Amino acid sequence: MLTTKLIQKNKNKTNRFLGAKITKIMREMIREHHTEAMDGNSAAAHIAYALSDTSFIYPITPSSAMGEHIDHFSAKKKKNIFGEQVTVQLMQSEGGAAGAVHGALAAGALTSTYTSSQGLLLMVPNMFKMSSALMPAVMHVAARAIIGHIGSMFCDHSDVMHVRSTGWSLLSSNNQQEVMDLALVAHLAALESSIPFLHFFDGFRTSHGISKINVIDYDDIKKLVDMKYVDRFHSVAFNPEHPSMRGTPVGDDAYFQWHTAPLKYFQAVPEIVEKVMKRVGDSTGRYYNLFEYFGAPDAEDVIVMMGSSSDTAQEAVDYINDKGGKVGLIKVRLYRPFSATHFLKTLPKTVRRITVLDRVREYGAFAQPLYLDVNAVIREPRSGFNPNIEEIVPGIYGLGGKDLTPGMAIAAFENMKKKEPKRNFSVGIVDDVTNTHLAYNFEPDLVPKGTKQCLFWGLGSDGTVGANKEAIAIIGENTDLNAQGYFMFDAKKSGGLTFSHLRFGPKKITSQYDIRHADYLAFHNPSFIARYPQVINKIKDNATFVINTPAETWEELDKQMPDIMKGVIAKKNVRLFVIDAEKLADQLGLRGRINMIMQTVFFKLSEVIPFDKAIKYLKDSIVKNYKKQGEAVVNKNIAMVDIAVSNVKEIHYPKAKWAELYKEDFKMPTEIDPNAPENVKKYIFPAMRLEAANLPVSAFPVNGQSMTSTSKYEKRGIATKLPIWKPENCTQCNICSFVCPHAAIRPFILDHDEKSRKPEGYQTIESNVAEYKKLGYQFRVQVSPYDCLSCELCVKQCPANALDFENADKSIMEKEKKNWEFSQKIKNKADLLKSATVATSQYKQPLLEFSGACAGCGQTPYLKLITQLYGDRAMIANATGCSIIWGGHYPSFPYTVNDKGHGPSWGNSLFEDNAEYGYGMVKAMIHRRNQLATHVKKALDSYEISDPVERYTFEEWLLNKDLAKESQEFGDKIKKVISSKKVLNSPSLEHISKNLDILTKPSHWIIGGDGWAYDIGFGGLDHILAQEEDYNVLVFDNAFYANTGFQMSKATPRGAQAKFAMAGKDTKAKDLGLMAMQYGHIYIATVAMGANYNQFLKAIKEAEAYPGPSLIIAYCPCIGHGIKTGMCTTQQQQKLAVEHGLWNLWRFNPALKLQGKNPLILDSKKPKKLLLDFLKMEVRFAALYQTHPKEAEAMHNKLEEEVKEKYETLVGLSKMYEKHYKRK
């Protein structure tokens, strides 16, 4: 690609040589566009909006932001190049979006959509229809790994390669500027060729990475559109005034010919794309070709690849050639149709060896797709190409987002020169199983000289990532510096790790990999010091290191820092600064939101931009970004900027003393708990230390089946405050434990022996539970300090003020750690209890603990209680969404086991099929247990079981196998009988012995969010609810797609602002409960535990006991709601939602019909409080008054009428049932 001051010297040649002369006339023809710091999704959306009439969208990471931008533009009534506001519609799934795109095109609307990964696969059937029908759709794809036995939200090309046979043209962009330019090429070429285009770029690395680019103005785009092609498109659209038909079935006599009829259109695509690229280049000064060559004109070794990592490979090419090498690189831009003619023209005639790097692995294939294309083209006898080519080597890189570094590219060049190069190799991993990997030991620093590299470690929701994006925008748009930003996240929600990689410099930055040599390093949480000291190895000599910590002296840091970190700091002469940002933010009423403080410190210490200007720009951005949250929030953030500089302090550490601690061989201990099982040490602990990238293939299970109970080893230690128990106030209600999202605070019951061994300061009081009191047992509430997230829910919900919220200094953390470790040795005594109340349920061990959920999460307390009651026999089918991220992401698995080793069995299939997946489990277990019952009956009938006591046991199991408690009781006895027999002398007894683990009736739970249940998975959910087997469905209703970034779902209330509904959702929320009630045989409950703990507990018990399908719909406050009182009040917010009428509590129990009773029980009273008062408490509603005040008022008034009507409907239904069953 050429800059805006360069143009191709010869339009028929590929871009082998930079530096072509440009005439004065051509310079004047090239328009200088405005520059902007922009990510790839924004660039694609900018172009797509310009050239679309309609857009159908559905969220999936990492492409969701494209649809969000399109919706945002439309909400602002922005005009496309045709002078129209684009019509945007959210669909229920990607398959639905593809169908709508197909229909819109058929009716004559230029249409676009956006997707990734599994979402793209759902579109495949329609893609075949659109391509052969010559419909000029455009789809922009942020490429992402396809989910198989494991899943990843990061990039490879498995999704895109899967659709290469659909007939769509596939166009690849490598960076944000190319996304801007080639998105335009895709739209123009689709229109001119009548062939649909899939324009793709790497997910996260390009889609979310930010760089300073030239933005193409809509006026320039309009000049490039030839309206005759638009008219041609309209002329073939469906219209009853000139009717036609499409999609007709044909017989074998005509199919082949008709299938061949459009072939010439596909054959014409390469030439059309080439011409469009030339026109776009003439307009922008940036020229592209179908295949782009970089390197020596007489290269002997060439790599062929596509995607963002080709920019990295180009760095390696320049490095090798600067040292006298003869190597080159071909970047593939138009992958489909694959033009052999253009490819061969691009390849130097001198080439002897070629390596083709694919970012995909197709199990069972001879090699990967791009290699097969390249090999076929070159080996084609009539190609006439260099017959002296010695090798065409296939290789794989970058699966699941793993970086390709310059060192890896160099290794690929070195491999192909070997006498016997490794074929089908992998680079970037250690494959010690099939031995495919390329070893490499050399990693040159090829980032352009003069580039300042800044690395920030933060926590999700502390604002670090957002602030760094703003920093790039400020620097990129107010200086001549080039800017690049890339952001990584672990899978946890708020409170998870975030990593921001920022580069600024005078030269173009093409380094598409993480920072390895930082000029500025910032730890935005003090826990990172002890947990991740190896990060200090990424810092340069004389660099700056800033830590958010309460420590103010080198002596304090000396106690906290591992020796290896101190050694590197001193050895590299690092300047060390500290600031207690957490304390400052807390003082200003923005606890946890430290972003503006740390960003101000960055601008002060990094000196990337004059500090006074930086502060002005930063304050302007605060007003722009926070105004919808109100003036108070804006002022608090500005105050944080003002107080930051005076509170940052440089630490003058004892350099000589610390330097003595330096070690060349820097290794982190891999063990976190020396008593952990070996497989935990093998592949869990290194990942918890963020060193999973170094693990070999042999460390991982082959089929994706993972152990449970690993979250307890993580001990994140990110709490800033801890709840400390005050026994003198405690009523033993256990609400603190009941509401804790992470099971980090629990009650414990001590017997006399345990009481005698308790550590000093471990206070207890007499238990007030009858079963425990009569035995003289003691009671204690204890927090796990390194698992607590300081959400404060327990403190806020405690009715007796029995918890103090104290600063989590080191002494308190260590004291409570010892107390927790002792508590974990206390024997669980819940089996002594007769029944489970809200209070006594908490004596049961939670089998969901220390999850990755947000602090204050509204989902996990529901499922935690279910695991306490039924977790030892639970089988969970979990829809994709928040709950699989906090519940099932490697390496921290929060589902755990009891002292018998029993606990939830958990699985995830897809977003769209979770109901069917769970139902399959149900049917399988019914079949297997019926089969087991048959063998039990045979064993009884044949008197293979002859002992009267044993026969009674088997007979009782057979009678009660579908009852939970009884099947478990008699099942345990059968296990003892079978184990006592030395010889199993019949097929039936042998079958029973092999299936002892299914004697207990399982508790089936099919769980997921409203995006699954109300939208993409509704068809499957509806189908299984129509059946009558025994299982339970739990829906986490937080009223939008939380996992992908808070996009609207059909559960979103009218008048709420969400992504994909920036002008407010102006349709009624779907009522899943009332819809399901029409079947009549489903147990249904809508619950909000904070509104009524007992109602929720009762609903769970009734649902699990009901011998048929049950549906629990749980109201889940979420960080995306923007609760103005914070996530510490999520339980209170549930109560307010019910009191103001937004949510109702009710149960529908069909079992009551058999008793002649009303099955519909209303558990919440008629709302007496104004709904509007509640709406003002949440940003999702209140923000609409800032952006669309008239619409907000109208929608909220209508919402008020709807909630009143909903309650009246429930009352009417209840009266109807009451009357019916009273009469009956």
Could you tell me the end-to-end alpha-carbon distance of the chain, in angstroms, rounded to an integer?
81
Residues 6+ apart with CB under 8 A from 719: 785, 786, 788, 789, 790, 808, 813
Domain boundary among 438, 461, 478: 438
Q: Please indicate if the annotation marks 730 as binding a ligand.
A: yes
Distance between CA atoms of residues 9 and 145, nearest Å: 39
pLDDT, mean of residues 663-686: 79
Distance between CA atoms of residues 1055 and 1175, nearest Å: 9
Distance between CA atoms of residues 1069 and 1051, nearest Å: 5
Q: Which tokens sit at 453? A: 């590299």
- Please state the pTM of the whole predicted model: 0.93
pLDDT, mean of residues 473-482: 91
The total of other beta-carbon atoms located within 10 Å of residue 316's CB is 25
Q: Is the pLDDT of residue 509 over 90?
A: yes
Helices (H), 699-800: 735-739, 752-756, 770-773, 793-797
CATH number at residue 596: 3.40.920.10
Q: Is the pLDDT of residue 1187 over 60?
A: yes
Q: What is the DSSP letter of 394?
A: E
What sign for the dihedral angle of Cα 299, 305, 311, 313? negative
Cβ atoms of 1149 and 1217 closer than 8 Å: no
User: Where do we find the tokens 């002649």?
Assistant: 1156
Q: Of 288, 278, 375, nearest to 331 (Cα)?
A: 288
Cα 965 to the center of its chain, rounded Å: 38
Q: Give the number of C-alpha atoms closer than 13 A to the C-alpha of residue 152, restricted to the C-beta side.
A: 19
Distance between CA atoms of residues 971 and 953, nearest Å: 8
Pairing of strands 210-214, 482-489: antiparallel
Q: Does 598 share its domain with 631?
A: yes
pLDDT band at 671 (very low <50, low <70, confident <90, very high): low
Query: Does any domain span residue 1013?
Result: no
Q: Which tokens sit at 767? A: 């238990």
pLDDT band at 668 (very low <50, low <70, confident <90, very high): low
pLDDT, mean of residues 782-788: 97
User: Where do we find the tokens 């051509």?
Assistant: 26
Query: What domain count does the chain have?
Result: 5
Cβ atoms of 789 and 742 closer than 8 Å: yes
Residues 6+ apart with CB under 8 A from 16: 293, 294, 295, 297, 348
pLDDT, mean of residues 191-213: 98
Query: Does any domain span residue 626?
Result: yes
Q: Please indicate if the annotation marks 1118 as binding a ligand.
A: yes
CA distances from 1042 to 130, 642, 1037, 1062 (A): 32, 33, 10, 15
Kindly report each contact of residues 770-773 with a partner whose C-beta sits within 8 Å and lies 24 or more positions away, as own/partner. Answer: 771/832, 771/833, 771/834, 772/829, 772/832
The H or E element spanning position 1134 is helix 1130-1139
pLDDT tens figures, 826-871: 999 999 999 999 999 999 999 999 999 999 999 999 999 999 999 9
Query: Does any domain span residue 329?
Result: yes
pLDDT band at 28 (very low <50, low <70, confident <90, very high): very low
pLDDT tens figures, 974-985: 999 999 988 788
Q: What is the DSSP letter of 146?
A: P
Residues 6+ apart with CB under 8 A from 186: 138, 140, 169, 171, 197, 198, 199
Query: Does any domain span residue 394?
Result: yes
Q: Is the pLDDT of residue 17 over 50?
A: no
Q: What is the DSSP letter of 895?
A: B
Parent domain of 499: 452-659
pLDDT band at 14 (very low <50, low <70, confident <90, very high): very low
Q: Where does residue 200 rank: exposed (0-12), middle (13-18), buried (19+ CB within 10 A)?
A: buried
- For residue 983, the model assigns a pLDDT of 78
Catalytic residues: 61, 94, 144, 1043
Residues 6+ apart with CB under 8 A from 768: 732, 779
Cis? peptide before 891, omega within 30° of 0: yes
Q: Which tokens sit at 611? A: 């500090």
Cβ atoms of 114 and 140 closer than 8 Å: yes
114 phi and psi angles, rounded to 5 deg = -145, 135
Q: Does 231 share its domain with 307?
A: no
pLDDT tens figures, 224-272: 999 999 999 999 999 999 999 999 999 999 999 999 999 999 999 999 9
Q: Is the pLDDT of residue 425 over 50?
A: yes
Cβ atoms of 527 and 559 closer than 8 Å: no
Cβ atoms of 453 and 503 closer than 8 Å: yes
CATH number at residue 340: 3.40.50.920
CATH number at residue 226: 3.40.50.970
CA distances from 906 to 685, 706, 1064 (A): 21, 10, 37
Query: Does any domain span residue 273?
Result: no
Q: Helix (H, G, I), strand (E, B), or coil: what is residue 1008?
A: strand
Domain boundary among 218, 243, 268: 243
The H or E element spanning position 547 is strand 539-548
Query: Does any domain span residue 964?
Result: yes
Q: Is the pLDDT of residue 22 over 60?
A: no
The torsion angle over the Cα atoms of residues 651, 655, 658 and 660, rounded to 10 degrees, is 170
Q: Does 812 share its domain with 747?
A: yes
The total of other beta-carbon atoms located within 10 Å of residue 5's CB is 10
pLDDT, mean of residues 759-770: 97
Cis? peptide before 610, omega within 30° of 0: no
Q: Of 1070, 957, 945, 978, nearest to 1017 (Cα)?
A: 1070
1034 phi and psi angles, rounded to 5 deg = -120, 120
Q: Does 429 share its domain with 464?
A: no
Q: Of 456, 470, 445, nearest to 609 (Cα)?
A: 470
Q: Does 200 share its domain with 308?
A: no
Q: Does 429 share its domain with 546?
A: no
Q: 722: which strand partners?
A: 806
- For residue 30, the model assigns a pLDDT of 45
Domain boundary among 412, 438, 464: 438
Q: Is the pLDDT of residue 1083 over 80?
A: yes
Q: Please indicate if the annotation marks 733 as binding a ligand.
A: yes
Q: Please indicate if the annotation marks 1116 as binding a ligand.
A: no
Residues 6+ apart with CB under 8 A from 1174: 1136, 1137, 1139, 1140, 1142
Pairing of strands 353-358, 301-305: parallel
Pairing of strands 452-459, 518-523: parallel
Distance between CA atoms of residues 490 and 494, nearest Å: 10
pLDDT tens figures, 437-477: 999 989 999 999 999 999 999 998 888 999 999 999 999 88
pLDDT, mean of residues 1141-1160: 96
pLDDT band at 624 (very low <50, low <70, confident <90, very high): confident
pLDDT band at 12 (very low <50, low <70, confident <90, very high): very low
* Residues 1121-1145: b if buried by 16+ CB within 10 A, e if exposed: bbbbebbbbbbbbbbbbbbbbbbbb
Q: Please indicate if the annotation marks 791 as binding a ligand.
A: yes
CATH number at residue 759: 3.30.70.20
Q: Please indicate if the annotation marks 882 as binding a ligand.
A: yes
Q: Is the pLDDT of residue 956 over 60?
A: yes
Q: Which tokens sit at 783? A: 């927090």
Q: Please indicate if the annotation marks 1128 as binding a ligand.
A: no
Q: Which residue type is seen at 402? A: K
- For residue 33, the model assigns a pLDDT of 66
User: Where do we find the tokens 């979990």?
Assistant: 878
Q: Does 833 share its domain with 749?
A: yes
Q: Does 635 share its domain with 511?
A: yes
- Transcribe 649-669 into DSSP letters: EEE---HHHHHTT--SS----
Q: Considering the chain, what is the average pLDDT of its residues?
A: 94
Query: Does any domain span residue 729?
Result: yes
Q: Of 265, 310, 273, nearest to 290 (Cα)?
A: 273
The torsion angle over the Cα atoms of residues 706, 712, 717 and 719, rounded to 10 degrees, is 110
Residues 6+ apart with CB under 8 A from 435: none
Q: Which residue type is seen at 513? A: Y
Q: Does 472 share its domain with 424?
A: no
- For residue 387, the model assigns a pLDDT of 75
Q: Is the pLDDT of residue 20 over 60?
A: no
Distance between CA atoms of residues 40 and 201, nearest Å: 8
pLDDT tens figures, 379-409: 887 777 777 899 999 999 999 999 999 999 9
Q: Does 717 share its domain with 818?
A: yes
Distance between CA atoms of residues 51 and 129, nearest Å: 22
Distance between CA atoms of residues 424 and 59, nearest Å: 35
Q: 486: which strand partners?
A: 501
Query: Does any domain span residue 535?
Result: yes
Distance between CA atoms of residues 884 and 491, nearest Å: 10
pLDDT, mean of residues 43-67: 98
Kindly report each contact of residues 560-566 with a partner whose C-beta sits within 8 Å and lies 24 or more positions away, as own/partner. Answer: 560/526, 560/529, 560/530, 560/810, 561/529, 561/530, 561/533, 562/529, 562/530, 562/533, 563/661, 564/533, 564/534, 564/536, 564/661, 564/663, 564/666, 565/529, 565/533, 565/536, 566/653, 566/658, 566/661
Distance between CA atoms of residues 1117 and 1142, nearest Å: 12
Cβ atoms of 868 and 1042 closer than 8 Å: no
pLDDT, mean of residues 401-430: 97
55 phi and psi angles, rounded to 5 deg = -145, 130
Q: Does 945 share its domain with 985?
A: yes
Q: Does 197 share its domain with 77?
A: yes
